[in-house]
Chain A
């Protein structure tokens, strides 16, 4: 089945530094990947839709300059939290779906998530 790898699974950083999280589709190509943020005991909040070869589409209220998203290839999207602050501490999850017309094209597969702690 489709597998999405997310790395790192957890990261601790100092306030003011930047952190990059990678999301890779291991056995399929994905034109679109999604980035979510999840606070403890809450639902997944869509942050942005990452489109291969073009700019990401951000949800209202999500700072584009704070959360940089790059989708350089059909198998890799990255989320960079710039100048991180303690309030950016959260669980970040990516998801991807195979290209239209391919097997499982309508099902999103999720990465295992990345827990970010900003000190």
Chain B
């Protein structure tokens, strides 16, 4: 079964600085998708960035970028120039197939605090 592990329950960063959130996953599949979702206090899940496993190039979305290491099964998120609005729970997610059924599996999340 696919599993997603986020080893940092909480992280903090100073405004304007850079922070990296860690994520590792376990799978036997070769084709899958990885995501980072943000959940602010409103609890609305917001897509931050996604990565297709077949692409070697790391995805980038403005201040957000990933370091995707397929062999190591690692998918970390880097937030540059952190802003107060970045404070939220961040969930790493794996999308693939298990038992013939498509699934999106989440890690336990990392709570990010941005200090002014």
Q: Which residues of A line the B interface, CB within 8 A? A: 32, 34, 38, 42-44, 46, 49, 57, 91, 93, 95, 106-110, 112-113
Contacts and interface: CB of A to CB of B under 8 A. Distances in A.
B104 A95 contact: yes
B21 to A, nearest CB: 14
A43 B102 contact: no
A7 to B, nearest CB: 14
A34 B109 CA distance: 19
B104 to A, nearest CB: 6
Chain B interface SS verdict (over half): strand
A44 B102 contact: no
Given A44-B91, A44-B106, A106-B33, A95 B45 contact: yes
Given A42-B108, A43-B91, 10 more contacts: A34-B104, A43-B106, A46-B104, A49-B101, A93-B43, A95-B104, A107-B47, A108-B104, A112-B43, A113-B44
A55 to B, nearest CB: 12
Contacts of B91: 43-44
Interface residues of B, number: 21
Interface string B93-109: 00100000111111111
A38 B108 CA distance: 11
B33 to A, nearest CB: 6
B104 A112 contact: no
Nearest to B4: A43
A57 to B, nearest CB: 5
Contact of B103 (A46, A93, A106): A46
